[in-house]
Amino acid sequence: MAVTNIVLAGLGGQGVVKASDLLSTTAFNAGCEVKKSEVHGMSQRGGSVTSDVRFGDKVLSPMVPMGEADFLLVFESSQVDINRGWLKPGGVLITPDAIPEGALRNRKSLNVAILGALSVMLDFEEDQWIRSIHTCLAEKLHAVNEQAFALGREVGQQLGRVKETEGV
């Protein structure tokens, strides 16, 4: 399996690091070699945060090279343009605009909804994702995040259909 490169970007407090934990845990439990890195510190104060997740048979550097991301997940609209350079040509960009925010039971679970949209484009089973939600989040947050994840999957399936139509 070739290395899949995913960059997650947003602002401090949006759950960028938590989302990358969920993603890397899912890939790890599925048997992939995973490397995940992020820079935090000052970013805890509402500044920009990005996290890189790479998985496959063999992963070396923990950082996604600029212009080589297969997927770019952006959690805050203002961060889309500054992060666009990570995507490789033909890579998939998922932004918060794709998620009908009003349908989220809790605005804070936007990060998990975006992961839901991503999940339909990756080869991991749905219940592996749900297991990651259970291991990485506190119990009281399980239901709300499962709802967000399911919503994201619906969005992702629609995105996928749009892509297929465009491809015709």
Partner 1 sequence: MASTERLLLSGNEAVALAALHAGVTLGTGYPGTPSTEILEAFDHMGGPAQWAPNEKVALEVALGVSFAGARSLTTMKHVGVNVAADPLFTAAYIDMTGGLVLVSADDPGMASSQNEQDNRHYARAAIVPMLEPADAQQAYDFTLAAFELSERWKVPVILRMTTRICHAKTEVHPGPERPSSIQPGYERDIPGRVMIPAYARPAHHKVRAKMEEIAQWNEQSDLNQIHPGDRSLGIITSGVAVMHAREAAPEATILALGLTWPLPMKRIKEFVESVDRCVVIEEGDHLLYEALKVAGLDVEGKPEMYRFSELNVPRVRRILAGDTTPEAKPPRGKPPELCKGCSHREVFEALSRMDCIVAGDIGCYTLGVLPPFEAMDTCVCMGAAIGVGLGLRHVLPEDQARRVVSVIGDSTFVHSGLTGIAEMVYNPPPTGHVVLIVDNSTTAMTGRQEHPGTGRSLNHEPANKMDFGAVCRAMGVKNVEVVDPQKPGEDFEGRLRAMLEKDELSVMIAERPCILAAPLIRKFEKAQEEKQAQCSAAMTD
Instruction: Tell me which residues touch partner 1 (CB under 8 A).
Output: 11-12, 21, 24-25, 28, 33-48, 50, 60-63, 65-66, 78-79, 81-83, 85
Output the smallest distance, CB 151 to partner 1, in A: 27
Helical H segments across 90-167, by residue range: 110-119, 126-136, 142-167
Count of all residues that appear for the chain in the document: 168
Q: Which residue number, 39 or 103, has a Cβ lying nearer to partner 1?
A: 39
Of the candidates 92, 88, 106, 87, the one whose C-alpha atom is nearest the C-alpha of residue 144 is 106
> Which region holds residue 89: left if phi is over 0, alpha if psi is between -120 and 50, else beta?
beta
CA 149 to chain centre: 11
How far apart are CB 30 and partner 1 at their closest, in Å?
12
User: What is the closest distance, in whole angstroms, from the C-beta atom of residue 113 to partner 1 in the complex?
Assistant: 22
Q: How far is the CB of 48 from partner 1 (least distance, A)?
A: 3
Whose CA is closest to 129, among 17, 47, 31, 25? 25
CB of 50 or CB of 145, closer to partner 1 = 50
